[in-house]
Structures are given as C-alpha cells and as structure tokens.
Amino acid sequence: MIRAIFLIAFTALISIACDSRPPHPPVVVYAVGNDENTLTQQLAEFTDDTGIPVILVFSKSSRNVDIFMSNSGSPPPDVLISNNVADVWRAADEGALRPLSNEAIESSDPSLKDPDGFWIAVAMRWNVIGALKGASALSQSGIYDSLAGEDMRGRLCLSSSALHVNRSLIAMLINDRGVKQAERLVRAWIRNLAAPPFSSEDELLEAIRNGTCAYGVLSSNPEIDDLTYFLPDQHYMDVDAIGVARHAPQAESAQQLVKWLVKKLQPRIASEIEIDPVSIAGWLDEDAKLLAERAAYQ
C-alpha cells in the first residue's frame, strides 16, 4: 500500500518538474480500490490539466470514512471517494466533510447530490433484474412485486444484505412504500429464494449463469454475453460519491479536484425519468438494516 502511494505521488511530481507552473502540494485522495487503474489514470489527467499532484490511498469505503471522522489518516486526507451512499452520508452526518463549492454542484442534478451540499455523485448504477437470455420477460411495471409472487418460488436469488447496494434498494423501497409494505415485499423475496443470499454479486451472477436461479436482483448490468437484464420502472440506483474532508490540509485544491471530476464524470439523468434523490438511501440505511434483520435477509 505505501509503495503504491509513493509511486503515484512521485510520478505526479515528475510531471510538475517539467511544467513552468509553480509547484503545488499534493492532494490526498482516499478511495475504494474497485477500479484502481481507471481512477489513477483520471487523476493523472487532472494533474496534467492543473499542475496539482495527487496521492491515492486505497482501502474499504467504511474504513476510509472512519479515518475521515477521526481525522487520523496518514497522510492526512483531503478528498473522499466512496462507492456507496451510506458511507458518504455517514461521513457528512458526523461532520467529517465540508460543504462543496457552488461551482462544483450548482449545475448538477438534485437527485445526485447531498441536499446540504457535502457530497456529489461521480458515477451511477441502476438496479436491474438479471436472467439468462431467453428467460421469460418481466414487465417493467411492478417488477419488484412480480419477484414476490408464488410462481417465483425457488427461482429468485439475491446477494447479501450486508452489501450496501442491497440496503440502498431496501431504503428506497421504504421511502416509496413505507416500512410495513417494504418488509412484506422483502419477506416474500426471501421465501422465493433458490439459495441463501450470496456474499457477492459475482457469485450471484454465476448462480444465474449456471441455472441455480432464474432471476437475480443486481446493482448493475455488466456486459456478459449469456445474460439479459430488465430495468424496473421504479428507478433505484447507487452511486460513487465524492466529498472534501472537513480538516483537509489542501482544501482549495481539493475543491478544484471535485469540480474537475464532476464536470468530467457525473452522469446525466434523462428528463423524463422520475427518480428520488439518492441521498435517501443514506438517510434510511439504518432502517434498511433493521428491516433486513426482521425479514431474515442475511
């Protein structure tokens, strides 16, 4: 880990040495290592454009948030990039983030940012239903309810409720239907399971492909040749989100990085799609955990 941090910073500083602009102290970004190569390349482009070097630290999202909350990171953090709403919401709720600059958030879709301006999405993933190609089509209307029907007994698969993407889905269901109706739906899903919830979405995808289950609830639609996907008309999503540390040593440069990434990466939502703010998934995360426990959703 330390070696990786050093190499990223060293490469950035070499590029600055060849630039006529005055050198900047590096911005320290704490991120999730799901796609290290892509993020490293994107931040190298930021350095090329601005002359501001970046040090990247990769760890689990929840651990990064704990570091921001305790202000205990080494090197001290400037920017948080989380792969889920619940963690970045917790960071903001506990006072670990500072408000983003108006330039970074003023033109962004309200559904993709914190209502108080502490974080903003830089990537988005729609919840979908996956199945083998050739499977009976599911109507977009009421698709989540169709998975609860008796004809789905032994045909449905889920990944674990410990995964933030599934708690995000439950939180959105609570917001739309209320706790009682959302819990009835989740309990029906559990009754229809073909196998216990899988620990990862990769395992769930493999279970669909090998015929263990006919349908699976997924947080994205990866390009896999033998799978097809159904998009519910209830448009639920999870996001990657970015925020600036309350005690950021390089706060001005950190805000500049956020503005740059949002302009480059933030997804756009079609005007005809009605969607609730993704921040709801953070706000109701604890309620989602409790519902999953009551419904025996492991």
Give me the residue spans of the domains in the chain: 2-124+239-267, 128-235+280-294
- The length of the chain is 298
pTM: 0.87
Instruction: For residue 265, name the pLDDT band (cuts at 50, 70, 90).
Output: confident
- Fold (topology level) of 128-235+280-294: D-Maltodextrin-Binding Protein; domain 2 (3.40.190)
Would you say the CATH fold of 128-235+280-294 matches that of 2-124+239-267? yes
Mind listing the pLDDT tens digit for each residue in 1-37?
433 454 354 444 444 445 555 578 999 999 997 778 8
- How far is the C-alpha of 258 from the C-alpha of 279, rounded, in Å? 18
Average pLDDT over residues 200-222: 94
2-124+239-267 has CATH 2.30.42.10 classification = no
Among 145, 79, 128, which residue's Cα sits nearest to residue 229? 128
Among 81-85, 133-137, 142-146, the minimum mean pLDDT is found in 133-137
pLDDT of 273 over the 60 cut: yes
**What's the DSSP call for residue 99?**
P
The whole-number pLDDT of residue 2 equals 36
